[in-house]
């Protein structure tokens, strides 16, 4: 895997919208927050485009913004405005050689799981499941700065655990490459040319508005597709955006039912992706260690060069 360069103070961050159109006021608020953190956000030409339908402009413009951001040597990192739907449309038109030749920090979640999968599979690039401009940085408590700095600005080992919401659903210890993203987008990629390489490490899955039976169904789909055959451990996200508090127990029982024959440890509650506040930045494609034997802990061993 190719490690992007760490972001330094004053880094220039390209702001892109590969999927749905973002609200101008939220993008502006998010960019202001990034400036307050010492970065120079650079709004790409079509980042605020709208249409057709709910997209941030046509495919050609969204692809052009991504390619320009990677090719521009003055740009240090790329952050998406929001998710929604649309990133998968870009996949046939992305230039793997261009991206491999210009590796940079790329941050997003939700619909951008399709881009994370593509960048790992075809460009071998470590990417980041983390806060977006309009969705998270626009809110005072939307992004977890500590994990952002550890993942993207540092270079050594670091960890998340109980303080970040992680707790034990099934105990155990596992090691391997950390990968994953939004459950529904991950499942929808199966059977396409963009199916992810089956994980042989720690698989992270999260989503929004996904009911217990839907988690059960989609985890079964992953099992039948062979995606869990070599997985050593599973980390699930914060479920408060999926079901209300009174359904949390049912959701956890549905998950354990779907994973009845999974031998490795299973954690739940990690606050990354679709969360109410404090969105964590998690590196995808790096070595990790999941320890659910006592106090829940997830270690990462460097994600940037």
* Contact between 78 and 127 (Cβ < 8 Å): no
Catalytic site includes residue 206 = yes
* DSSP symbols for 30-68: HHHHHHHTT-EEEE-TTTT--BSTTBBS-HHHHHHHHHH
* Contact between 109 and 129 (Cβ < 8 Å): yes
The catalytically annotated residue of 112, 272, 274, 287 is: 274
Catalytic site includes residue 110 = yes
The catalytically annotated residue of 87, 116, 184, 206 is: 206
Helix (H, G, I), strand (E, B) or coil at 289: strand
Pairing of strands 233-237, 202-206: parallel
Q: Please name the residue ranges forming H helices in 230-300.
A: 248-258
| Neighbour count for residue 133 (Cβ, 10 Å) | 31
Pairing of strands 77-80, 40-43: unpaired
The catalytically annotated residue of 110, 147, 189, 288 is: 110
Phi, psi at residue 136, to the nearest 5°? Answer: -130, -50
Catalytic site includes residue 60 = no
Helix (H, G, I), strand (E, B) or coil at 77: strand
Q: Which residues are the active-site residues?
A: 110, 206, 274
């Amino acid at each position: 895997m190719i490690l992007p360069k760490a972001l330094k103070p004053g880094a220039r961050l390209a702001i892109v919208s590969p999927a749905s159109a973002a609200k101008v006021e939220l993008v502006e608020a998010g960019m202001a927050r990034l400036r307050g953190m010492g970065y120079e956000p650079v709004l790409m030409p079509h980042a605020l485009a709208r249409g057709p339908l709910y997209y941030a402009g046509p495919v050609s413009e969204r692809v052009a913004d991504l390619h320009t951001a990677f090719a521009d040597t003055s740009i240090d990192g790329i952050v998406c405005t929001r998710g929604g739907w649309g990133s998968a449309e870009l996949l046939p038109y992305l230039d793997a050689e261009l991206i491999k030749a210009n590796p940079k920090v790329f941050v997003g979640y939700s619909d951008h799981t399709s881009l994370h999968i593509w960048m790992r599979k075809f460009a071998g690039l470590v990417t980041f499941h983390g806060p977006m401009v309009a969705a998270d940085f626009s809110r005072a408590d939307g992004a977890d700065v500590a994990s952002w700095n550890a993942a993207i600005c540092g270079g050594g080992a670091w960890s998340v655990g109980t303080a970040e919401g992680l707790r034990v659903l099934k105990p155990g210890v596992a090691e391997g490459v950390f990968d994953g993203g939004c459950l529904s987008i991950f499942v929808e990629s199966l059977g396409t040319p963009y199916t992810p390489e089956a994980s042989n490490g720690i698989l992270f899955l999260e989503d929004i508005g996904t009911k217990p039976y839907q988690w059960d169904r989609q985890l079964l789909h992953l099992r039948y597709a062979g995606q869990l055959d070599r997985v050593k451990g599973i980390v699930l996200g914060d479920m408060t955006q999926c079901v209300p508090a009174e359904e949390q127990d049912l959701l956890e029982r549905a998950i354990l039912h779907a994973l009845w024959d999974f031998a490795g440890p299973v954690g739940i509650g990690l606050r990354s992706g679709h969360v109410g506040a404090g969105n964590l930045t998690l590196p995808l494609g790096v070595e990790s260690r999941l320890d659910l034997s006592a106090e829940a802990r997830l270690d990462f061993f460097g994600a940037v060069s």
